[in-house]
Amino acid sequence: MNLHPKSRFGFFTTVLSMIVALSACDKLQQTVDSAKEPVNTGEPAEVDQPLGHVVEFNDFTLRANVSRASVLNDAMAQKYDIAVRPDLAVLNLVILKNNAKPAEATVQAQVSAKHENLLGHTEDITMKPIETDGYISYVGTLDTSSQRVFQLIISAVPEGTEQPLQMTFDVQLDW
């Protein structure tokens, strides 16, 4: 896909704004249980990756972040149909094709996500694709009104493949 330089700039500006907005909350502290290994064949990447939780596979990389919905500006929240509530968290997932040109880096996938609480109750997270200028990410929300510790289990099957990519990580929300 060849995008006009202004289109690329607009997309990257939008993605950067979303990443900054989703990771800007200074009170959000996420902790990853380092004793838990990611499910499947992925290996954890370095801890200081930009979107928080990263698992690298041979051909793909999954990057996920959880932040408060209340850090989203009104225009972004409305555009992506996300309620701005203090008891709502946003899960943002990006699937990257390794060794791809930046204009083709994100890929479409069948994505499923769920979270498990400390009592072992599991709840599905509805993930919505967000596409801008051919780039895609997936967003879902978690109700944090009755719990602050979640184990997130994410599975993605990139378009054109059959092998699910899975990542599991714990998040403790301190807000």
Per residue in 20-47, pLDDT (tens digit) is 344 333 333 333 333 333 334 444 443 3
pLDDT tens digits, residue range 36-87?
A: 333 344 444 433 333 479 999 999 999 999 988 988 889 889 888 998 998 9
Rg (CA), the chain: 16
DSSP 23: H
DSSP 75-97: HHHHHTT----TTEEEEEEEEEE
What is the model's pLDDT at position 90? 93
How many C-beta neighbours within 10 Å does residue 117 have? 14
DSSP 129: E
How many C-beta neighbours within 10 Å does residue 86 have? 10
> What is the pTM assigned to this prediction?
0.70
Phi, psi angle pair for 77, to nearest 5°? -60, -45
Which homologous superfamily is 5-172 in?
Answer: Domain of unknown function DUF4426 (2.60.40.3340)
Phi-psi region of 40 (alpha: psi -120 to 50; beta: other; left: phi over 0): left
